[in-house]
Amino acid sequence: MTSDQMAIAVVVLVAAWIQGVIGFAFGLVVMSILPRFLPVPTAVATTAVCGVCVSTLIFLRYREHVIWREIRPQLLGAAFGLPVGVLALKHLDPDPCIRILGACIVLYVLWTFLPQRAPRDDLGRVPRRWGMAAGLAAGALGGAFATGGPPVIAYGQARGLPPAAFKAVLQGFFMAASAVHVVLLSANGILTVDIFKDAAIFLPLIPVGTWLGGRLSDKIRPSLFRRLVLVALFVLGVSYLIGGR
């Protein structure tokens, strides 16, 4: 294993651990680092392959809490957004793309630090039909940068989902969207056999990361840990926004 592969392996392990703790951020963490080592399309393809595994493992842990009617409109929107994002990845210049990625990370971090009302269980905060718009935006961002989490995370919090259901719904969406993303990347020649083989090297680390994250999620205060992660993401996002690749 080369030094670059070892660095990527550490990033994948830590990102899987973080998602195991807070239920999201795998794509954001990985795509904050991987473009330093890989071309953007290769980084996106690698993140998509690993993301299927991460979301599936966490979904299995929270499957009893899933609310399918919350996932369906998001997936419908993502079905339209993902192809647009993949086409953008294939045809756009990587340097402005990485700047856009930096802007997405910065905006997401700033949004998370805005005052949030406590979740409630009646799911009455915003209409469910807004899930389609969230899925559309998440699909476009996910297709282009493998960082489609922020729109559906914002939607889930606005719906007031209880914590376990929030994680289950997110993982259900990520699992399905990532699988479709992998298919689209393959069909467009972005995810090749060689890239898949390289990505497969990191897959054994994912169960370790998600297991450790799951163990920690019930024992530590996630809010403090999440804020530390977001500060690091903010710094990386600003560096991409200012300096590009």
Per-residue model confidence as pLDDT tens digits over 52-76: 999 999 999 989 999 999 999 999 9
Tracing tokens 């897959």 back to the chain, one arrives at 203
* Tokens at 33, concatenated: 């680092």
* Other CB atoms within 10 A of residue 178 CB: 26
pLDDT for 96? 79
pLDDT for 80? 95
Domain ranges across the chain: 3-243
pLDDT for 125? 61
pLDDT for 115? 61
pLDDT for 120? 44
Query: What integer is the mean pLDDT of 10-38?
Result: 89
Q: How many Cα atoms are found within 13 Å in the side-chain-facing hemisphere of 181? A: 35
pLDDT for 6? 93
Tens of pLDDT along 89-115?
888 776 777 777 778 778 877 877 766
* Other CB atoms within 10 A of residue 190 CB: 17
Query: What integer is the mean pLDDT of 207-231?
Result: 77
The rounded distance, in Å, linking the Cα atoms of 55 and 206 is 10
pLDDT for 46? 95
pTM of this structure: 0.80
The rounded distance, in Å, linking the Cα atoms of 69 and 90 is 33
